[in-house]
Structure 1
Amino acid sequence: MSASRRVQQWLTFTRQWWLFDAKWQDPFESAKVINKHLKGAHKPIFGGHADCGDHVVVINSQDIAMRGDEWYYRVYFHHTGYPGGATWTKAWELHKKDPTMIIWKACYRDLEKDLTRRGRMQRLHIFKDSNIPKDIIQNITDQIPQLRTVPKRLKDYSQEEIEKFPKLFDYPKEHVLD
C-alpha cells in the first residue's frame, strides 16, 4: 500500500472535530445534522456495527431560535429519582437556567436508544457563546454549514448600502413621522 493510500485510510478512520454555529438555528433541525456527524453517517465507511462518529463542537447555543410559541408550549420532563421529584419545565425557563440544555436534549432524543448513545453524547461539546477553550479549538478541522442563513440587522448595514436600497415612495417634505 502506497504512503498516500495509507494516509487516506488513516483520515477515513480518525475522529474529526466539527464546528457548528447554532445562532438563529432551530435546535431540533440542527440535532438531525449534528447526530449524523456524531454517528459517522456522513462517512463512506459508516455501518451499524462500527462506531466511527466524530466530535461536534456547538457554539452560540444561547442564540437558538424556536418556531412560533414553542418557547412557551414545549416542556421538558425531569425526575430526581425521589418520590414527588417529577418536574415539567417550559423551554424558556430551561434555556434561562442552562443555555446549552435544549440542544443537548434535542440531540439525546434523536439518537438511537442503544449502548452507543452515551459514547456519542460524550463527543458532543456545547458552548453558550463563541468562547471555546484552546485545547478544543486546536482540534477543530472542519465546519458544518448552518441550516438557515443569519439575517443582517439594520445597524450592520453601512449608510451607503441603506441609500442604495430601492425606495417604494418618498414622503412629502411636510409629512411628520410620530
Structure 2
Amino acid sequence: MDTLSYKTVSLNSATVEKNWVIVDADSLVLGRVASEVAKIIRGKHKAGYTPNVDCGDNVIVINADKVRLTGKKWTEKQYVRHTGFPGGQRFETPAEAKAKTSRLLVERAVKGMLPKTKLGSKLIKNLYVYEGTEHPHDAQKPKEVKL
C-alpha cells in the first residue's frame, strides 16, 4: 500500500540549477538588502531548497556606494576585529569602512547572515559587489530583482 503521494526531493551539487541575479542597492537600507541577498545566495527562495547544499544563485550587487544606514549607525555602529596579538582589538565605524571601499559594508552584512560553517564560506563566494553600475558579468545574462 503506497499512500505517500509525494517524495521528498533533496538536491545535490549535480542537480542544482544556479542562476545569476542582479540587485540594485541604490538608496536601499543596508540590512534589508543584505537579508534578501543572503536568502537568494542560500537558495531559500527555491522550492527544492536543501540546507546542506549550495543551491542558491549567484548575486551581483551594484551601486553599493549608495546604500543607506538608518539612525546614527554611520557613527555609532562598530565593526570589531582582532589582530591576534595581545591588545589587538580594533574598532571601525561604517563611515570609516566606506572611506576605504563601500563594498565592505554589503559584504560584511551578507556574510553575517550566512551560516558560520564550511558551507557559509562557499556561499559567500557567490556574492559579487560593485560600487558603481558597471559590472563584468554581462555574459551570464543576470536577471534583475526588485527589492
TM-score where L is the length of structure 1: 0.70
1:61 matched to 2:59: no
User: Aligned-pair distance for 1:83?
Assistant: 3.0
**How high is the sequence identity, in percent, across the aligned residues?**
25
Superposition map of 1:85-104 within 5 A: 85-104=88-107
Q: How many residues align?
A: 133
Q: What is the match of residue 146 of structure 2?
A: 145
Q: For the residues of structure 2 that align with 1:100 and 1:50, how far apart are their CA atoms?
A: 26
Q: RMSD over aligned Cα, in angstroms?
A: 1.4
2:139 maps to a residue whose letter is Q
- Further displaced range: 36-45 or 137-146: 137-146
CA distance in 1 between partners of 2:16 and 2:24 (Å): 25
Structure that is richer in helix per residue: 1
Runs of at least 5 residues in structure 2 that lack an aligned partner in the other structure: 1-14
In the alignment, the residues of structure 2 paired with residue 65 and residue 141 of structure 1 have an alpha-carbon distance, to the nearest angstrom, of 24
Residues 5-154 of structure 1 mapped to structure 2, 5 A cutoff: 13-133=16-136, 136-146=137-147
Cα separation, 1, equivalents of 2:89 and 2:52: 36
**Cα deviation, residue 89, structure 1:** 0.6
C-alpha change, 1:140 and 1:81, in structure 2 (3 Å) is farther
Please report how far the alpha carbon of residue 118 of structure 1 lies from its aligned counterpart in structure 2 after TM superposition. Answer: 0.7
| Alpha-carbon offset, residue 96 of structure 1 | 1.0
Q: Which residue of 2 aligns with 1:5?
A: none
**Deviations along 1:107-146, whole A, 9 cap, x unmatched?**
011112222101110000000111212xx12213311213
Task: Please tell me whether the aligned partners of residues 53 and 119 of structure 2 are also in contact (alpha carbons under 8 angstroms).
Answer: no
Amino acid at match of 1:20: V
SS in structure 1 at match of 2:53: coil
Unaligned 5+ residue runs, structure 1?
Answer: 1-11, 147-178
Q: Distance in 1 between matches of 2:80 and 2:145?
A: 30
Offset of 1:45 from its aligned partner? 0.6
TM-score w.r.t. the length of structure 2 is: 0.84
> In structure 2, what residue type is equivalent to 1:137?
D
Question: Match of 1:145, as an amino acid?
Answer: K
Q: In structure 1, what is the Cα distance between the partners aligned to 2:140 and 2:72?
A: 38
